[in-house]
Amino acid sequence: MNDQKNLSVSSPPPKRRRRRECLVFPVILLALAFYYALYFLLRGPLPANPQLIAHRGGADYNPENTMAAFRHAVEMDADWLEMDVQRTQDGVLVVIHDETVDRTTNGVGNVGDFTLEQLRALDAGNGEQIPTFEEVIALAKDVNVGLLPEAKSPSLYPNVETEMVNAVVEADYLSQTVFQSFEMEAVENLHRANAAVVACPLYRLWWEVDASAPPGDAPVLCPMAEMLLVNPWLVREAHRAGREVYVWFGVLENPMMMRTMLAFGVDGLMTNDPLMLGDVLNR
């Protein structure tokens, strides 16, 4: 009986509990406002010319990673063409995202199990073929647009990083190419293949990023945009280390998110919708 009486006396009245709960949300908002206000105060100057990067050629308008997508991205004033590179059974570098052809073509099977001729026979959407990396390099060079190729699943294709670098060097387009990969060892390998390589490690939401000493001494960092919502200070750290930041979007790809990234000071944005980003950039 006494224990119950003491318990009831020590419990705050319902009105007081509700009052405390009502204060939590404003306090959180104030803390966030201070956090971001401090960042903007210390951010530094904004990049003069943020880059428009067509992710997989601008997948919202044409079948991804096809010549139709890349040509359309050029028409939409993209500064860079982003793509994914893998290798056929007979050793040809091709541009396709998944390790299998199942999602993006009318075929079934692993990319590495097909010869180039067999891949060419597949429909990659609207009658498009899977392009070779060489074809995309030639298009970019012809219109003077940057290349942002990703070494996709490099563990499946030994030495693919060196082959990618050699293909760009042979086309005399290394100075306008930034290589990327989610695998940090692949970023190191790209740098080892040629000391002049500009590489960009890709980071997912909760991955650790060391802006002062990234893999391969990469001059560009490519974090997930949603990561910067949590930690915009990464942009400032990268800029202070003399590095640029190109972001890619997970699920929050919209004009508000793009404007937020630009306000944070990113140097480039990879987008499936180059037209949307062009509007945001007032192009």
Q: Which of 55, 72, 191, 239 is catalytic?
A: 55
In DSSP terms, which residues pair with 146 in a beta bridge?
80
Report the phi/psi class of residue 25: left, alpha or beta, with left for phi > 0 and alpha for psi in -120 to 50: alpha
In DSSP terms, which residues pair with 245 in a beta bridge?
221
User: In this structure, are strands 93-95 and 80-87 parallel, antiparallel, or unpaired?
Assistant: antiparallel
Quickly tell me which residue has 């387009």 as its tokens: 173
Quick check: helix, strand or coil at residue 282? coil
**Count of beta carbons in the 10 Å neighbourhood of residue 200:** 26
The residue among 282, 269, 275, 279 whose CA lies nearest residue 51 is: 269
Q: Which of 72, 97, 191, 239 is catalytic?
A: 97
- For residue 75, the one-letter residue type is E
Is 239 marked active-site? no
The residue among 184, 136, 186 whose CA lies nearest residue 162 is: 186
Listed in sequence order, the DSSP H helices in the chain are 2-10, 14-42, 67-75, 116-120, 133-143, 160-170, 184-193, 225-230, 233-240, 255-264, 274-280
Q: How far apart are CA 75 and CA 97, in angstroms?
A: 22
Is 55 marked active-site? yes
The residue among 182, 269, 256 whose CA lies nearest residue 225 is: 269
Active site residues per annotation: 55, 97
